[in-house]
Chain A
């Protein structure tokens, strides 16, 4: 049933990437000068790719919708980045990182890609240190590590609770250096609106200048998408307000397959929702589970203050249910467990939709100063938002949408099903299966950008050394620009009565209710019907103030939400078709006696890659069979 060619190189898993690198076709330096690459997005994957490709001599244009490439949402990652350095001498290895990632992803990722990721992980740390990233260090001057969920070693490198910021600023500095050299031309406040395809190949993009509203055409030999995840489809998520699906959605509509759209990660430790006005949710790093203990009262509806509840009346439910991993079980497991205790009526806080994350014991054991050194900025952030001091009273946390494992289908080269179109970082599907482990997103973004695309893109571009880029007056550009303009005019002309945010909130509620932490057939069918109605409502009711040819954030949002609605439909379809539970995708019909996710390997051991078949038609399902040559498939156990 393998209809998709993942182009995994031959050889044993340890040798695939080494062999690939030494046999892949190259583009010689003088020819690189003639090649134009468009990189969309300037987060970890985009900035590292743009900088590294420019260092090799390619001419790069890089685009971001923010006012500076330094603001991409990678900046908000807190806890850390994994690498198989084994600096902690605790038995880590490339194989173990690979195995933990495949297992953490509940055996729904592609082995060869994950192994390569683990292999290059060590180089990432070297690269970042050389750039001047100030990682945490021991007194002897060497790098410090900590633990994250789903593993039994300490392999996570960190820079206080701001690891993403420091890594992104490292990549941004490398990008800035290439901008200064003229090797990268940077376009801030530009959003990709359409992909241009000529002779079946990705050949350019149409962007909207978000300051002037002007549509612009850019031509390239190759287009690299590094546009992040689509968690904002749920409206409330830990993503930045601007994070969106538009670039990959346009690519999907032009023929790139969308893989596993329903795999969305609900992160267990976020600050709970406080009211209807809520615009986003704030993550409290998973690293807190190193020292914080998660509990709820044993009794239902216990309204006492947390400090008034004695130990014997508390249920440290993660430690009770999963003694081997305790508070450090993977995210999907921790999130579902929190939902369970809240569903039982044991949730805390005004809404009853929260559990405690308590540092009392850690503060007694290690002292306040140690806790402050490890998590000081996170504690401050919590206090700013809630007005409560977590040194005195336990944090209240609840799961929230955080990351999307699904994304554009890519082969081993990170190329989508459209020749010349690549997808890097969170916007592809490749490495995390049905659940991502903590501190692996930063690793993947930088692996893709620094160490993988610089090799794999050459294999494609080697054929293009004599080819000029498509002139931007080519009919394909004209047509693409016309379609973008047509859609913008259509949006502006609806002149309905509902602001974009209201419609977006409605979409989010449907998806959170029926396609969130737990899913079932009846609910998903209901969601499908409701999203169809919402789509009609959107195109009748959306109200966008202002004009087209000016700075108009409401128009920007409207375009994104229109795409989110279509994506939401695809997510639900995917969730509906996958009748098994795996990782973050929990189908209530498929669970073990203990309520854990129950996979069905005989039927569903594949990547579901959806193919756009036109508006109003069902997308077609393509399958990439997942073959496990190294890892033995097993029911995950963290007990």
Chain B
């Protein structure tokens, strides 16, 4: 495989939330295939800055796939072509010489664009604030080994807890639903004895916050699971539905 490739980038540019956006095309010759996607964006920005143009704004921080900050819709897919991979961990060896790559921000009503590829995801924080916690104050906890947890449940709970809150699920869903994100937190806590006392009220409040934030409903397409960089399973949405039903019936 050749060590460098020539690319064209078709990038969404938008000055701010209220401005009208448009695509711009940039030539990117000689891209090393060992670069990460974001490093390629760095090279583009370096060129733009030196040329007196404004660089492309994009969110990024840890660059190792865990902070959930990066959020690019690459060639029509959240985080690009690879399964289970964030944009920051995507490397250029997965692209072809001569290819045109289209880069857009997450598109969802609940995630307004701040600038270029940067969106506002504070709606996710609101969902967690509605009930994505165990109400335990610091200092009240019993010994950690006083409550055993079945290994397989702890593992499954971890699988859900691995969500990085990036929003790829919302960006991939034709209804802009955040059900995968929401269900991951509900499921994590529903599987653990520590989450049990608030199980009912949690799911009701979080679903309400989800709907109020302007996310759409889930119609079981599964695009969220397919594009989740942490491979969170839609089985958690099934558990969420069960939890919700149980809580609704038991409420009165």
- A525 sits at the interface (CB 8 A): no
Given contact pairs A68-B124, A134-B161, A174-B138, A545 touches B35 in the complex (Cβ within 8 A)? no
- Inter-chain CA distance A313–B196, complex, in Å, is 57
B188 contact from A134, A186, A242, Cβ within 8 A:
A134
Question: Which of the residues A55, A139, A179 comes within 8 Å of B138, measured between beta carbons?
Answer: A55
Residues from chain A with a CB closer than 8 A to the CB of B141 are 123, 126-127, 129-130
List the A side residues contacting B151 at CB < 8 Å.
137-139, 141
**Residues on A with beta carbons closer than 8 Å to the beta carbon of B132:** 173, 176
Chain A residues with CB below 8 A from B102, complex form: none
Complex: how many Å from CA A380 to CA B230?
12
Residues on B with C-beta less than 8 A from A140 are: 148
Once A55-B138, A125-B144, A134-B154 are accepted as A-B contacts, the answer to whether A76 and B67 lie under 8 Å apart by CB is yes
Tell me the total A-B contact number using a CB cutoff of 8 A: 219
CB atoms of B144 and A165 under 8 A apart: no
Question: What are the residues of chain A within 8 A of B62 when measuring CB–CB?
Answer: 71, 73, 75-76, 240-241
**Which of B85-93, B171-179, B214-222 is found at the contact surface with chain A?**
B85-93
- Contact call A277/B188, Cβ cutoff below 8 A: no
What is the chain A residue whose CB lies nearest that of B65? Answer: A381
Q: Which residues from chain A contact B2 at a C-beta distance below 8 Å?
A: none
* Cβ-defined partner of A137 (8 Å) among B42, B45, B149: B149
A241 touches B63 (CB 8 A): yes
Distance between B170 CB and nearest chain A CB, rounded to angstroms: 14
Partner of B139, one of A70, A123, A136, A277: A123
- Nearest-CB residue, chain B, relative to A144: B151
B residues less than 8 Å from A172 (CB atoms) = 128
A358-383: which have CB < 8 Å to B? 380-381
Q: Which of B67, B115, B137, B155 contacts A551 (CB 8 A)?
A: B115
For this complex, 25 residue pairs linking A to B, each with C-beta atoms less than 8 Å apart, are: A71-B61, A71-B165, A76-B62, A76-B66, A132-B194, A134-B158, A140-B148, A142-B145, A159-B161, A173-B128, A173-B134, A177-B133, A274-B34, A277-B40, A277-B42, A282-B64, A283-B64, A384-B90, A384-B91, A387-B93, A543-B50, A550-B115, A551-B57, A551-B118, A554-B55
Q: Return the chain B residue nearest A173 by Cβ.
A: B133
Q: B39 to A132, Cβ gap below 8 A?
A: no
CB-based nearest B residue for A498: B50
Residues of chain B contacted by A380 (CB below 8 angstroms): 84
- B residues in contact with A240, CB < 8 Å: 61-63, 67
Knowing A129-B141, A137-B151, A160-B158, the reply to whether A545 touches B53 (Cβ < 8 A) is yes
Q: Does A440 contact B (CB under 8 A)?
A: no
Query: Cβ of A553: which chain B residues have Cβ within 8 Å of it?
Result: 55, 57
- List 6 tightest A-B contacts by C-beta distance, closest first: A141-B148, A173-B133, A130-B141, A126-B141, A134-B158, A180-B129
- Give CA–CA (A145, B24) in the complex, Å: 52
Bound-state CA distance A126–B134 (Å) is: 13
Cα-based distance from A186 to B59 in the complex (angstroms): 19
Residues of chain A contacted by B61 (CB below 8 angstroms): 66, 71, 73, 240-242
What chain A residues lie within 8 Å of B10 (beta carbons)? none
A159→B158 contact, CB < 8 A: yes
Interface residues of B (CB under 8 A from A): 16, 32, 34-36, 38-40, 42-43, 45-46, 48-50, 52-55, 57, 59-69, 82, 84-85, 89-91, 93, 114-115, 118, 120-122, 124-125, 128-130, 132-145, 147-151, 154-155, 157-158, 161-162, 164-165, 188-189, 192, 194-195
For the complex, what is the distance from the CA of A543 to the CA of B157, rounded to whole Å? 48
Bound form: Cα–Cα A283–B63 in Å: 11
Q: Which single residue of chain A is at the shortest CB-CB distance from B68?
A: A71
Q: Which A residues are CB-close (under 8 A) to B195?
A: 132
Given contacts A127-B139, A159-B158, A241-B62, 16 further A-B contacts (CB under 8 A): A70-B125, A70-B165, A71-B62, A76-B66, A85-B145, A126-B141, A131-B134, A132-B188, A136-B154, A137-B154, A141-B149, A169-B161, A180-B130, A279-B42, A451-B138, A553-B57
Inter-chain contact A48/B138, CB cutoff 8 Å:
yes
Give A546's nearest chain B residue, CB to CB.
B54
- Residue A131 contacts which of B36, B136, B143 (CB distance < 8 angstroms)? B136
Min C-beta distance of B213 to chain A, whole Å: 14
Pick the contact of B145: A87, A381, A385 (CB < 8 A): A87
Contacts of A166 in B (CB 8 A): 158, 161
**Bound Cα distance from A87 to B143, whole angstroms:** 11
In the complex, A162 has a CB within 8 A of chain B: yes
Bound form: Cα–Cα A173–B165 in Å: 13
Residue A501 is within 8 A (CB to CB) of chain B in the complex: yes
Distance in angstroms from A459 CB to nearest chain B CB is 18
Q: Determine the chain B residues whose CB is within 8 A of the CB of A502 once the complex forms.
A: 46
Do residues B66 and A165 form an inter-chain contact, with CB atoms below 8 A?
Answer: yes
Determine which of A73, A180, A450 lies in contact with B67 in the assembled complex, contact meaning CB atoms within 8 Å: A73
Chain A residues closer than 8 Å to B50, beta-carbon distance: 497, 499, 543
- Chain B residues with CB below 8 A from A543, complex form: 49-50
In the bound complex, do residue A126 and residue B46 qualify as a contact, i.e. CB atoms below 8 Å apart? Answer: no
Interface flag for A280 (CB, 8 Å):
yes
Contacts of A589 in B (CB 8 A): none
